[in-house]
Structure 1
């Protein structure tokens, strides 16, 4: 099971370089059922923010509805206890707030693998980061 960071969706949607191609290839493995994945409502908030900030508001509905309709991908909530876990991850790994929340969601869902372009996740010894 994979956790998809917000930047995965941004690269898959917007990037036309090799990184975008790789993100879309990974996305296809999920669609085909070769992998199962989750993301969080927090990640979707980040995707929406990036699109609005980047003057891509016209892509919002298609992007978010596309994520929700992706086979083998579930969107999970951020729990009420995630902030407590995030505090520990901020202190132990010197993570940014949003990254700590993503790790909290991963921990609460008993996962170990994240697809992300963010090297900060490499500080966490029990996390396997798949780059694209």
Structure 2
């Protein structure tokens, strides 16, 4: 029997190819993510004969994966509630319950906070 793959399976495989491309050439384009992004899009278009919008979407998704690859800690949305953020570190099995008020007080309303912007 021949296995049947959905379109999303194929797109996931191509997205993984984009991620590998980004990882491989990231050092060559350090400081210029736009060039790296464009080269990855062209790689997908030429290798897999994709339309530009789909290639850009898959590279964009892969780029997001690349940026969080080394960030171990994750927000556990299913365990969090509106007043408590639950953060996990799967690498060491640690879990933290952080009151949202503490996040607001120490990050958002911190006097030296210039990084965050109101959206």
Q: Name the TM-score class by shorter chain.
A: under 0.3
- The structure whose RCO (Cα within 8 Å, separation 6+) is larger is 1
Larger radius of gyration: 2
Please report the TM-score for the alignment, with normalisation by the length of structure 1. Answer: 0.23
Structure richer in helix, relative to its length: 1
